[in-house]
A and B are shown apart, each in its own frame.
Chain A
Amino acid sequence: GNSVTQMEGPVTLSEEAFLTINCTYTATGYPSLFWYVQYPGEGLQLLLKATKADDKGSNKGFEATYRKETTSFHLEKGSVQVSDSAVYFCALSPLGDYKLSFGAGTTVTVRA
C-alpha cells in the first residue's frame, strides 16, 4: 500500500535557522508528492508539489526535491521566520488516484 513517513516533532528553532523536515514514502508507480502547511485553527494550504522524479517544488522560500532513488521528499527552508510556525504534512497521491496519503505531521515552532 501507499504510506508516508515523516520526521516526528515537535521541532523548535530560532528565527533565521535552517529547517529540514524529512519525508519518505512507499508507493507503487509514480505518485505525486505534496507538502501542505496548517496554521493554528486553519485548514491545510498547499505549500508545494512535485509530480515526477527530480522535480523540485518551491514556494515562500521552501523547497523539496522528488528523489525516486531514495523515495524521499524532504522539505527545507534556509532561514525560517516566526510566521513559519505551523504543522507541516507530507502527502502523496498515486498516479491517477484521488486519495491523499498523509504523513503524521510535524509541528514547527520558530522563536524570535
Chain B
Amino acid sequence: DAMVIQNPRYQVTQFGKPVTLSCSQTLNHNVMYWYQQKSSQAPKLLFHYYDKDFNNEADTPDNFQSRRPNTSFCFLDIRSPGLGDAAMYLCATSRDSYNEQFFGPGTRLTVL
C-alpha cells in the first residue's frame, strides 16, 4: 500500500540536544508538509516543500529546519529543542498544492 511513513514513532531528547525526525512516502507526491500538533489542538503547519522549493510559514521558529534530499524523503531538524517543543510532529503529502493531504502516523517528541 502506498503510504506516508514516519520514524521513529516516539523520540525522546534532552533540552538543547539536536534531534531529527524522518518522513518518507511511497505516493510519489510533489508536496511534503511538516505540522506540529500539541495536545488537544489542531495541527499547525511549520513548512512545506513543493518538489525542491521550500516554503516556511511566517511564524515558524528558526529553531526548526527541514531538508528534502529527494522526492521520497523529508526531514525535520530541531536544532535546540526546548520544553515547549514537546509535541506530536506530523508529516503529510499531497499530489499537488490543491489536492487533499495524506498524513503519516506522527512522531511524538518528548523533551527532558
Contact = CB atoms under 8 A, between A and B. Distances in A.
Instruction: Give the interface size class of chain A.
Output: 20 to 34
B90 A43 contact: yes
Give the dominant DSSP class at B's interface: strand
Contacts of A95: 98
Interface stretch (B14-22, B61-69, B75-83, B100-108): B100-108
Instruction: Give the interface size class of chain B.
Output: 20 to 34
Contacts of A44: 43, 90, 92, 103
A69 interface: no
A22 B55 CA distance: 32
A42 B42 contact: no
B40 A42 contact: no
A97 B105 CA distance: 24
A43 B97 contact: no
B105 A32 contact: no
A93 interface: yes
Given A43-B90, A93-B98, A95-B98, A100 B45 contact: yes
